[in-house]
Amino acid sequence: MLPAGEWWVCAFAFGTVIGSFLNVCIWRLPRGESLIYPGSHCPYCDHQLGPADLVPLLSFLIRRGRCRYCGRPISWRYFGVELLTGLIFALLAYRFQFGLDFVAYSLFTAALIVAFFIDAESFFIPDEVNHFALLMGVGRDIYGIAQNETSHSLIDGWLPHSILTAVICAAIFVGIRILGTALFRKEAMGLGDVKLARAIGAMLPIGAALTSFFMAVIMGAVLGPVILLVKQRRSPPSNEDAIQEKAVEEDIKIPFLRDSLESLQYLLFLDIPITIWMRFKRRPESEPLVEDEDWQPGATHIPFGPFMAVGAVAAIFIGNQLTDWYLRWSHLGMLFGGKS
Ligand SMILES: [Zn+2]
């Protein structure tokens, strides 16, 4: 067993290596490219990167953020994702010490980081990311149950807590979606958000998961208008844009009954075998996987996934304290027992 100080440093270094791979995921998953082949290459000159170009953080700093072969600037996002992943892993090492919880939570957070950046840029979260995060939550719980760990148990002798929490969290988001469709015939909550909520529910205790959604809503309400303002400053919407957006909005009116019924598959986890089946049928290296091909983000659209990801990471560290405080304050404690 390592002394605590060295363990954090190891976790940080491990995080930067994982972060380097997350950069590959963030670039390739929305483009439908393989994560393994071909190896990393410069997006401008296509030059294959060698081991010396792939040292996390250091390669970027030594080359001052430029490609060694063509000299063109590389996005700061690459450095940022490596640093961020390293810092979060170090915090997780502090929170969980060394053990299975550290491994499960760090891989879960890695998926959240990928979801954050892809959703912020492309307005969707790939199924691979959501299903991986879900697998971490359910897998950790079932392993804990098999090993008779005190914090993992079956409800009524058959139902893992993680599955129940996942269904509750997905149901909340499906409810918002159905309500939005009923009221506005518009997408109030994306399907990617429903799947992300389910994964967060599988990993976090119910109180922390709900706290994370609450934080996401607050962040969205506070930061959403700011982000829109900055976006409009950068590229003011033209009259044409407004007309086009109106046309797009009228185009994507969602049929209420069909959408409500389809939403139920996420509560029953039916989408997972369907996705796997589609993956086998689909030839590799085919077109990018966008969940709704006819859906286009409008100028006033802000993805909710990034807020959910930040909320979930925050909830890992302070979710339990916030939940306890809230339950004491609201005297709702008797409603929530179980997994903690
Ligand atoms: Zn280059």
- Which residues, chain by chain, have CB under 5 Å from ion ligand 1? 42, 44-45, 67, 69-70
Among 104-113, 143-152, 227-236, which stretch is predicted with the lowest mean pLDDT?
Answer: 227-236
335 C-alpha to ligand 1 centroid (Å): 58
Distance (angstroms) between ligand 1 centre and the Cα of 26 equals 19
Greatest mean pLDDT among 175-184, 195-204, 240-249: 195-204
CA of 24 to the centre of ligand 1 (A): 16
Half-sphere exposure of 136 (CA within 13 A, CB side): 24
Q: Is 142 exposed, middle or buried (0-12, 13-18, 19+ CB in 10 A)?
A: middle
Residue 284's pLDDT is what? 53
Say which residues have a Cβ less than 8 Å from residue 33's Cβ, sequence separation at least 6: 27, 285
Checking 311-314 for CB contacts under 8 A at 24+ apart, the result is 311/211, 311/212, 311/213, 311/214, 311/215, 311/216, 311/219, 312/112, 312/200, 312/203, 312/204, 312/209, 312/212, 313/88, 313/109, 313/112, 314/212, 314/215
Distance 211 CA to ligand 1 centre (A): 44
pLDDT of 290: 52
CA 69 to centroid of ligand 1, rounded, Å = 5
Mean of pLDDT values over 274-294: 65
pLDDT (average), residues 291-309: 76
Q: How far is the CA of 49 from the centre of ligand 1 (A)?
A: 9
Q: Alpha helices, DSSP H only, in 147-189?
A: 161-184
Instruction: Find the 47 Cα to ligand 1 centroid distance in Å.
Output: 6
Q: Where are the domains of the chain?
A: 1-98, 99-335
The count of other CB atoms within 10 Å of the CB of residue 289 is: 18
| Ligand 1 centre distance from Cα of residue 14 (Å) | 26
Among the ranges given (76-90, 161-175, 270-284, 315-329), the one the predictor scored with the smallest mean pLDDT: 270-284
pLDDT classification of 215: cutoffs 50, 70, 90: very high
CA of 41 to the centre of ligand 1 (A): 8
Of 1-10, 303-312, 322-331, the range with the lowest mean pLDDT is: 1-10
Residue 48 Cα to ligand 1 middle (Å): 9
With cut-offs at 50, 70 and 90, classify the pLDDT of residue 328.
Answer: confident
pLDDT at 288 over 60: no
Cα–Cα distance list, 89 to 82, 220, 313, 326 (Å): 11, 25, 11, 27
Nearest to 292 by CA among 215, 186, 213, 199: 186
Q: Backbone phi, then psi, for 159, in 5-degree steps?
A: -105, 115
Residue 1 pLDDT more than 80?
no
The CA-CA-CA angle for residues 71, 77, 82, to 5°, reads 105
Report CA(74)–ligand 1 centroid distance (Å): 9
Q: What is the 3-state secondary structure (H, E, C) of 81-143?
A: HHHHHHHHHHHHHHHHCCCHHHHHHHHHHHHHHHHHHHHHHHCCCCHHHHHHHHHHHHHHHHH
Distance 50 CA to ligand 1 centre (A): 12
Determine the distance separating the centroid of ligand 1 and the alpha carbon of 44, expressed in angstroms: 5
Residue 338's pLDDT is 46
